[in-house]
Amino acid sequence: MRGGGPLIGGKKTAACPVGIALGATWNPELVHEIGQSLAREALDRGAGVLLAPTINPFRSSLNGRNFENYAEDPFLTGTLANADVQGL
């Protein structure tokens, strides 16, 4: 969740690891818990859309936003994406 932060009068937000860092844990329970946390924060802020992490495997290592994906491996990505969606 993005926020302006306390320096410019915005709300404080939780800082969660990016998708690729979560993928490196191979831990669906952790991803589920983070999904729940993001859902609570989104509801608190009245947000209707979450833009990351993305849940489709990236196709090129030249893509500049690969860090938002869980992994190159489709099985791992699917497992973690399922945990994320269930948590949300």
pTM of the model: 0.82
CA–CA distance, 61 with 71 (Å, rounded to integer): 11
pLDDT value of residue 37 = 93
- Give the residue-averaged pLDDT of 24-46: 93
User: Which residues are CB-neighbours of 2 under 8 A, at least 6 positions away?
Assistant: 13
- Give the residue-averaged pLDDT of 44-68: 77
How far is the CA of 40 from the CAs of 21, 58, 87, in angstroms?
21, 28, 10
**pLDDT of 5 over the 60 cut:** no
Question: Which sequence spans correspond to the domains of the chain?
Answer: 16-87
Determine how many CB atoms are found less than 10 A away from the CB of residue 35.
Answer: 23
Higher model confidence: residue 59 or residue 84?
84
pLDDT value of residue 81 = 94
> pLDDT grade, residue 1 (50/70/90)?
low
